[in-house]
Every structure is written in structure tokens, then in C-alpha cells.
Structure 1
């Protein structure tokens, strides 16, 4: 079997040097999917990144781009962060992601608006313990009741995998990188 490709669906910051470092930390053959396409904008804050995302695209459009990128992926591990996690959720629910062996969706807070969808493949949902707009524990309980693998990571905030986020947590990052490496093996 050929080596898996790692697909990374970025958050609102897009393809950044910090995300590139995360890809190197995981290793393997990587394809980065960004809501900004091939552009690599730099933002001074999350507020600026959010405004740029909203001005350029939508979660639905990003999901379509992700679905197109995954259409011929085989075999693959798909990982999404924040809006990228929600875009992956939508893409995998629409297409089944036939070449995607497994996916890990980190703090995809907008997934709560699409709980009725069922993505194809082995999906693991990882939420921060605290979110400003909703109670992650409640969402996780609902997703688990539907038979999905969902969890919150204690003591974390949204953005725990992104060095640019106020919620970044180096210890959790290291632990999750090890887990992702194991999925690629």
C-alpha cells in the first residue's frame, strides 16, 4: 500500500509558517488546504484573520474546495482545525471521502450547526474544554450519543494546536502530534 498523504485543512489563519512547522512535526507527505488557496496572507490577530475569511469565502465554499481536493485522495489522513474541521465534516458527509482512511477534526465549533450530517470513514472529533459560544461538553455528549468518537481535552481553549492562537497549549500540541504520527504509520 502506498504511503498515506496527510491533508491539513487550515483554520482562518490559512497556510502559515506555524502550520508548515506542524506539518513537519507530523511528517510524511503533506497537502495543505487553505481557504485562501495558494495565497499566504499574514494576519496581526484572530479578529483580522476572521474578517479576511468572511470577506473572501464561507464555510460552505471552503467545504467544496476541501471535497474537491479529497476526491482523488488515496490513502489519506485528513486533519482539520476550527473552520477547516467544519469544512472537512461537511466535505466528508457529502462525498464520503472514499480515499480518506481516517480524519481528526480539532475544535470545529460550527459542527454543532451540522450535527445531522454523517461523514464517511473513521472520524475523531476533538474539542477544546472551553468555547466562547457554546458548551463543548454538551456537544460532545450529543455526538457520542449518535455513536461518534468525540472528546474534549481538559484545560484547553479553542486554538490549542495553533501557535498563533491565544488558546495554544504546547503540551497538548506535543501529545496530539504523537497521536497523528501514529495514524500516519
Structure 2
């Protein structure tokens, strides 16, 4: 069977596959991509934003970056048998997982990482594919500009810092910033278009 052209794999945040992640998947389906969205909660209902602490603890106790990345390697290998190009699109912890996967050999064709704050713990990763890092200007726990400047010196890495707080691209979040969300979506669209020519 001939492989299809392009797949976008969406990696969810600590909240699970919530309305925001479904909204993102719908957008890329409408843009002509096949969309895959692994559920690292294994069918457990998503957490509401008011349960952020509980959601984070669940992620740490039951998922974690190591098991998420290991499971994702298997998903990527299977996806590559069905698609010519496989792109990752992650948000927050999903962005950190996408960053980790970008360092794998020959499994990822491009990675987009929205406000992956824990990427700061994995600065040693050297991506093997083009990576687009999109940051919120306002982060509580680290210096965005300092991290962005450190990472953009790496081959394949592009970084952009946009107005807003963590979650600015999520229309269901209190931190939603419509202007920055549109700018980010345009950056992602152009990034994906550029990868088709590689």
C-alpha cells in the first residue's frame, strides 16, 4: 500500500485531550493533514483548568516525559510506515515531549513546540530535524529570552517569543491572546509549508 503524504501528530498538555486539543486537531484536518492524537491518559477524562495542580501531579505520577517519549517512539515508527512525512505539534508538556523526540534519528520530519517550559531541563538535546519553538513572553518559572537565545544557536532550531502568558494560543483558556494565537498559527503554517519543500 502506498504511503500517504503528511501526518501531524498532536501531543496534549497535562489536561489531556480537552476542547483545545480537539480544536487544534480539527484545524489541521481542515488544512489537509491527517491528524493523530495519542491519548496518554488512556481514556481517562481530561482535567479542567481549575484542576491544574491535580493534572500536573497525575502527569508526574502516571505518565512522565520518559514513558511519554518511549511510547511516542513506537507511535512514530508506525506512523512513518504509513506516511512520507510526520510532523509533531506539542503544547506545554507535549511540546517538551516533541522536543525530546526531535533528537531521535530518522523518525521526525519537523517539530512544533508551543510553550514547552520543561525544555529548559533538556537543553542538551540536539534536534535532527527542523524545530519551531513558540514561547509566551510571560513565564513564571524561567527567563524566556535567555532560554530562547540559548536554543536558537542550535542547528535546525527557530524560536519566536509572542506576547502573552503560558497558554496564550488556547481560546478556552483565561490566558488566551487572540492576536498572538493568530501570529503563532501563521508561523506554524509557514513552517509546515517550508518543510514540504525539503
- Say whether the fold is shared (TM-score over 0.5): yes
SS in 2 for 1:73: helix
User: Cα distance, 1:169 vs. partner?
Assistant: 1.8
Alignment partner of 1:110 out of 115, 118, 125: 118
Q: 1:5-154, aligned counterparts within 5 Å?
A: 5-27=7-29, 28-45=33-50, 46-74=52-80, 75-93=85-103, 95-96=104-105, 98-147=106-155, 148-153=157-162
Q: Distance in 1 between matches of 2:75 and 2:169?
A: 23
The structure with more radius of gyration: 2
Report Cα offsets for 1:50-101 as digits up to 9, x if no partner.
Answer: 13222322122212222221123331121111101111111222x22x2432
In the alignment, structure 1 segments of 5+ residues that lack a partner are: none
The answer to which structure, 1 or 2, has the higher relative contact order (CA under 8 A, 6+ apart) is 1
Is the CA contact (8 Å cut-off) linking 2:126 and 2:154 kept in structure 1?
no
Q: Distance in 2 between matches of 1:132 and 1:181?
A: 28
Q: How many residues are paired up?
A: 182
Runs ≥4 residues deviating over 6 A = none
Q: Distance in 2 between matches of 1:47 and 1:166?
A: 16
Q: Distance in 1 between matches of 2:111 and 2:158?
A: 11
Q: Distance in 2 between matches of 1:73 and 1:36?
A: 20
Is the CA contact (8 Å cut-off) linking 1:66 and 1:88 kept in structure 2?
no
Report the aligned-residue RMSD. 2.1
